[in-house]
Chain A
Amino acid sequence: MHQKTQLQAETIRLISGTNTRKCMKCGKCTASCPAFAEMDISPHKFVSMVEHGEIDKLMASKSIWKCMSCFACVERCPRGVEPASIIEAVRQTVIRKQNNNYLRPENIPELLDPKIPQQALVSAFRKYSK
C-alpha cells in the first residue's frame, strides 16, 4: 500500500478505535442500517475500504453525512467491529480540514422551524462542522 494511504488508514483506525481485521464480512451492518437507501457506500464497505486504504473515496462519500449514529450496526455486529465508529472517524477527518464544514451557520435560518429543538441544532453542528 502507498505510504500516504497507509497513514490515512492508520489514522482512521486510531480515531475510531476499531480493528477492521476482525470483520468476517457477514454484512449484518449493511443489513441493519436504517440510512442504507441514501448511502452510496454501504457500511460493510467502509470496513473493507479502510482495510484496503481507500480513504479518499470514503471521504468523498455521501454516506458519511447520512449515517445517523443509531449504533444498530455496532449493536448487531457479531465481531465487535463498530462500522459507525469508522464512519465517524472519516467524517471527522473531513470536517477537521480548514474550510471544510458540511453545515455552516449561514445555512441555519432556512432550516429553522418553530418546533426544532436545541438538541437538533447542537447535534447537527457537532456532526457536520468543526
Chain B
Amino acid sequence: MTFDYYPGCTLKTKAKDLDIHARNAALALGIELEELPEWQCCGAVYPIARDEIATRLTSVRALASARDRGRELLTLCSACHHVIKRVNNDIQTDDEIRNKVNNYLAPDIEYNGETKVVHYLEMLRDTVGFDTIREKAVKPMTGKRIGAYYGCLLLRPNNVMAFDNPENPTIMEDFIRALGAEPVLYPYRNECCGGYVAMDDKNLAAQKCKNITSSALERDVDMLITACPLCMYNLDINTNTAEETKLPIYYFTELLAQVLDI
C-alpha cells in the first residue's frame, strides 16, 4: 500500500532519526511512503482560536493535495499529526472555517475534509499489523523494559484525535511487545513534557520532564520511546543531565529499524 507521507520540518533537520528509520522500516514492511510534493510546515501548534484562518492553510493544502492524489495522508511527528488531524476535523465540522479556507485557497475542487489522516503507528497497527512486525523481527529486543511516552498531542482531545484511550493508551505498548520487548506502564506517560513553554520557562519544562522520567524509572525501565521531536528534546536536555534521572530516549522508529535489522 502507498501513503502520501508528510514528514514536517523537524524531521528534515533535527529529527532525521525519526524520519529515516521510518522510511526504511516502512519499505521493509512492504509499505510505500511517497513524500507529498511541496508540503509546507504545519505550524507546529494547532490554531485553537476559531478565527485563525491563515494558520490553517498549510494543513489544508497538504490534505487537499493528498485527496487529489487519492491517497491517505500519513504523518509521523506528533505535532504534525495533531495539527493536520484537527484542522481536517475543523473542515469537516465547522462551516465557517471550511468556507473561509476554501475562499482563500480556491482549490479546483473544494476541500471538504475527505482525506483520512493516519499516524505511522496506526499504519503499523492497522495496515502492517503488529504480528507481522513480530514475525519479521530479526533482532527482537527480548528482555528490554521499555516505557512508552505518549505526551499530549497524539491523544488529546480524544473526541477529535480518536487515537487511543487518552488516559490509558495501549498502541505503543502493543508496538513494544511486537519488538519483543516488555512494555512498562507508568502513570505519567500521557502527561505533558512542557512543550513549547520550554522556550520561555525552562524550569517548568524541567520539572515536568523530571516527573515523567522519575515515574518511569520507578517502574524500572531501560529506555523510553517517543514520536515527538519536542518531547525528545525536553526529556533529553532535562533529564539526562543528572545521574539519578539518566535515561536513554529513542524515537520509536529507531527501535523498529533496529529490530528489523535495517
What residues make up the interface of A, taking CB atoms closer than 8 Å to B?
A: 14-17, 34-35, 37-38, 65-72, 74-75, 84-85, 88-89, 92, 102-103, 111, 113, 115-124, 126-128
- Pair A69/B195 contact, Cβ less than 8 Å: yes
Q: Which residues of B contact A72 (CB under 8 A)?
A: 152, 156, 191-192
Q: How far is the CB of B198 from chain A (nearest CB, A)?
A: 6
- Pair A71/B156 contact, Cβ less than 8 Å: yes
Question: Once bound together, how far apart are the Cα atoms of A7 and B204, in whole Å?
Answer: 34
Chain B: interface residue count, which band? Answer: 35 or more
Check A118/B204 contact, CB under 8 A, given A15-B50, A17-B50, A70-B195.
no
**Closest Cβ neighbor of A113 among chain B residues:** B237
B157 interfacial contact with A, CB 8 Å: yes
- Pair A126/B152 contact, Cβ less than 8 Å: no
| Selected A-B contacts with CB under 8 Å, 21 pairs | A15-B50, A16-B48, A35-B197, A37-B207, A38-B201, A38-B204, A65-B201, A68-B152, A68-B196, A69-B195, A85-B48, A89-B48, A89-B49, A115-B233, A116-B14, A117-B10, A117-B14, A117-B15, A117-B233, A120-B199, A123-B79
Question: Once bound together, how far apart are the Cα atoms of A89 and B47, in whole Å?
Answer: 10
* 0 or 1 for each of B62-80: is its CB under 8 Å from A? (1 = yes): 0000000000000001010
Q: Which of B44, B51, B156 contacts A123 (CB 8 A)?
A: B44
- Pair A16/B50 contact, Cβ less than 8 Å: yes
Q: Which residues of B contact A75 (CB under 8 A)?
A: 155-158, 166-167
What is the predominant secondary structure among interface residues of chain B facing chain A? loop
Question: Once bound together, how far apart are the Cα atoms of A88 and B48, in whole Å?
Answer: 7
Q: Which of A37, A119, A124 contacts B229 (CB 8 A)?
A: A119
Q: How far is the CB of B97 from chain A (nearest CB, A)?
A: 10
- Pair A118/B196 contact, Cβ less than 8 Å: no
- Pair A120/B192 contact, Cβ less than 8 Å: no
B208 interfacial contact with A, CB 8 Å: yes
Q: Which residues of B contact A116 (CB under 8 A)?
A: 14, 233
- Pair A15/B157 contact, Cβ less than 8 Å: no
Question: Once bound together, how far apart are the Cα atoms of A129 and B131, in whole Å?
Answer: 46
Question: Once bound together, how far apart are the Cα atoms of A14 and B232, in whole Å?
Answer: 35
B113 interfacial contact with A, CB 8 Å: no
- Pair B45/A126 contact, Cβ less than 8 Å: yes
Question: Once bound together, how far apart are the Cα atoms of A88 and B46, in whole Å?
Answer: 11
Question: Once bound together, how far apart are the Cα atoms of A32 and B259, in whole Å?
Answer: 37
- Pair B196/A124 contact, Cβ less than 8 Å: yes
- Pair A126/B48 contact, Cβ less than 8 Å: no
**Closest Cβ neighbor of A74 among chain B residues:** B157
